[in-house]
Structure 1
Amino acid sequence: MSRMGKERVPNAASPVTRGRLVAEAERLFLAQGYDKVSVRAVNAAAGMNPAAVHYHFGSKEGLVAVVLQQRLVPLWADRLGELGERRDAGWKPGITELADIIVSPFDQLVAAEDGRMLVHLLARVVLGSVEVPWDNPWFRYEPWCALLRATRPDLSERVADQRWRLAFALLLQTYGQPLVPADRLGALPPPDPRQVAAFIAAGLDAPAPGEEAS
């Protein structure tokens, strides 16, 4: 859901070391936010040398990709696996179904504080245009664009891509807002997921505008 970065070649060595770095990075990211956590801080918290993160993950962006996918993919694995199987079988989803498919996991995830923190972290890196090298294809726009264009073949790849970027930006703005205690001024109640899905469906299914020649 962020801009594509350079392809990352993961280092499969030292799984214990990688696991320690991931655990400390998750703890620091969720407590302080992505922007405030340095690679040096992660290495120090894990008791590693200053080059450990870059050696095992290539970059801070590569590390946050592992942290988020390691936590989110298992939660969404069944839904995304079924989605892939149906797509490969030639399924053409309705727009309302597509909107529900992307809204429901966020709505369920933010029901718990830890889940809200994960979505907040995801929102910070995606909306901040961090070039995260995602490994899982569902964290990129291409498969979502293909599903939308299967239902709306009148949409160009460019328009489909723009609509999904707007849809996911809305989701991340809605569900990834900073955590605010319920009794504090500025706290917002959880949105009605049916309203969020209806709004996104309307945007995905809007009439195709005339495109200017590039």
Structure 2
Amino acid sequence: MSTRGTTTGTAGRERVPNGATAATRARLLAEAERLFLAQGYEKVSVRAVNAAAGMNPAAVHYHFGSKEALVVALLQQRLGPLWAGGLDALAARRAADWVPEAAELADIIVRPFDRLVRTPDGPMLLHLLARVVLNNDKLPWNEPWFGHRPWRELLHLMRPDLGADAVRDRWRLTFTLLLQTYGEPLASADRLGALPPPDARQVVAFIAAGLDAPDPAADAGHDPSTDPDPAPEG
């Protein structure tokens, strides 16, 4: 087999030129996932990913921009297909003017987390998701359902009495709870999954109660109709 255009590193791994963008991105993502699953988020550096992929030291920054953006791309690649069917169905129902009940909306959110955390790679993928999302609310997601806007719109349909701030706060609390519960952002890689996940029915009931709770601002005399519509965040 020809080795033209490639070199070999000190460990014998074939080095690949950075010209083939799609192939390069795929190789970086594959090596990043392997390293994250083996070592955890904190112990894996951009430099280690570049070296494992046989790329030059600037490859991750050139193709992704940062370690966080690399993780975002990896999560969309791995989680997107797992959640695509349910999210496509949700989009279709939305287009048909469906208005969800609180328990139904909570179930739609919780079940994918519960299913994923019970798979072999799920705890680490959710850990990566928690680590990047809880530290940065302006990540470069390409998939709309990875952002907050569609979920805020659904809650606004379900509870039109809530102002924009209340809708935003309730979703922020919801996703923080889910990421803390299923992603275990403070756990070390070797401790992920040490405790069994909670009963999904209890999580659904808890989140549904929070999403559909009475509005304390209304009880205090605040008129939510004077609030602006939910901001078009990602």
> Shorter-chain TM-score: which interval?
0.7 to 0.9
Instruction: Give the gaps of 5 or more residues in structure 1.
Output: 1-11
Instruction: Give the gaps of 5 or more residues in structure 2.
Output: 1-18, 228-234
Aligned residue in 2 for 1:180: 191
Q: Deviations 1:21-74 (Å, cap 9, x if unpaired)?
A: 000111122223323322211111111011111221122222111100100010
Secondary structure of 1:113 counterpart: coil
Structure with the greater alpha carbon radius of gyration: 2
Q: Could you tell me the TM-score, scaled by structure 2's length?
A: 0.79
Contact 2:71 2:128 in 1 (8 A): no
Q: Give the superposition deviation at 1:203.
A: 0.4
Runs of 4+ displaced beyond 4 Å? 211-214
Aligned residue in 2 for 1:40: 47
Within 5 Å, give how 1:185-196 maps onto structure 2: 187-196=194-203
Contact 2:123 2:192 in 1 (8 A): no
Inter-CA distance 181–48: structure 2 relative to 1 (3 Å threshold): closer
Aligned residue in 1 for 2:169: 162
Contact 2:40 2:124 in 1 (8 A): no
Distance 1:130 1:147 in 2: 20
Inter-CA distance 62–149: structure 2 relative to 1 (3 Å threshold): same
Q: Give the superposition deviation at 1:149.
A: 0.5
Higher relative contact order (CA 8 A, sep 6+): 1
Question: What percentage of residue pairs aligned between the two structures are identical?
Answer: 65
Aligned residue in 2 for 1:142: 149
C-alpha RMSD of matched pairs (Å) = 2.2
Contact 2:64 2:70 in 1 (8 A): yes
Aligned residue in 2 for 1:109: 116
Q: Could you tell me the TM-score, scaled by structure 1's length?
A: 0.86
Tell me the amino acid that sits aligned with residue 141 of structure 1. H
Contact 2:170 2:211 in 1 (8 A): yes
